[in-house]
Amino acid sequence: MVRQTHHERETTVKSCAPAWCVFLLTLLFSGCSASEEKPDALLVGAAISLKEPLEEIGRRFETETGRRVVFNLSASNLLQRQIETGAPADVFASAATSPMDALETAGLILPQTRKDFASNTLVLIVSVTDTLAIRSFEELKNADIHRIAIGSQDAPVRLYAEETLRHLGLWEMVLPKLVFGQNARQVVEYVARGEADAGLAYRTDAQRNAQIRVLATADTLWHRPIVYPIAVVAGRPYISLAIRFVDFTAGPVGREILARHGFGAPALSP
């Protein structure tokens, strides 16, 4: 449909009889309601650590429903802020409970649709070409470790890393060495490119990069559980389709795909 400018619509209305004006305005806006009934795409804001499994889930969902799924992948805290400022999203999938909690408190998600659908683990990583004799988190304080990559402020991967380092009594000692990646993937990239000597990242991201070696796994008692919640965003026009996507992701098909990409079930988190 050819779109008219406001001036063009105003000129048309002024030049027609009242009955024809009503008919014309009906034609102008009928396309909008039709598109709401059959959306071109379902918009999903998701933690970037979920990229590969969610894109596969999206393709399966498209095959089953005939509805296209479009992903906005970023750090969960940044997606939270986007939703808070009115950016379009029908579904939100977070790498931590805190961004989802904030949106629920603000009334920006439908709490009855919220589900925990995956879990992850935090690991200590180095480059495969690394020659440093480091084998544990405690050794991050060693003098020959100059740069340690973790997530930036408020990113979930930063939350888990900081809790781990504080639990081990290392936070103050390593603070001058820290370099900050915007999200979990960037932490891995810093280490892979040699821009950091070591990093704290999700196991799933580390396993996808052939330039990365996992040295140690954080004990789950050192940080809060790494749980991924998903929910429908409030105030959007395609609620039933969004609920269907949430249920599909948290259901048998989604669980199988997530497990194949290295994610655990949320029930495994303490």
Q: Which domains does the chain have, with CATH numbers?
A: 6-37 (no CATH), 41-119+227-268 (3.40.190.10), 122-222 (3.40.190.10)
The Cα 262–Cα 260 span in angstroms is 5
Q: In the sheet that 198-202 helps form, which strands lie side by side, from edge to edge?
A: 178-181, 148-151, 198-202, 122-127, 212-217
CA angle 114, 118, 124 (to 5 degrees): 135
Which pLDDT score, from 0 to 100, does residue 35 have? Answer: 36
Give mean pLDDT in consecutive 10-residue pieces for the chain, a chain of 270 residues: 40 36 32 47 96 98 96 95 97 97 98 98 95 89 96 92 98 97 94 96 96 96 97 96 98 97 75
Q: In 10 A of CB 107, how many CB atoms?
A: 10
Please enumerate in sequence order all residues whose Cβ is within 8 A of that of 47, keeping only pairs 6 or more positions apart, or say none. 73, 74, 75, 76, 79, 93, 94, 95, 156, 183, 184, 228
Position 186 scores a pLDDT of 95
CB 196 within 8 A of CB 106: no
pLDDT score, position 132: 81
| 119 φ/ψ angles, rounded to the nearest 5 degrees | -140, 170
For residue 40, the model assigns a pLDDT of 78
Q: Is the pTM of this model over 0.85?
A: no
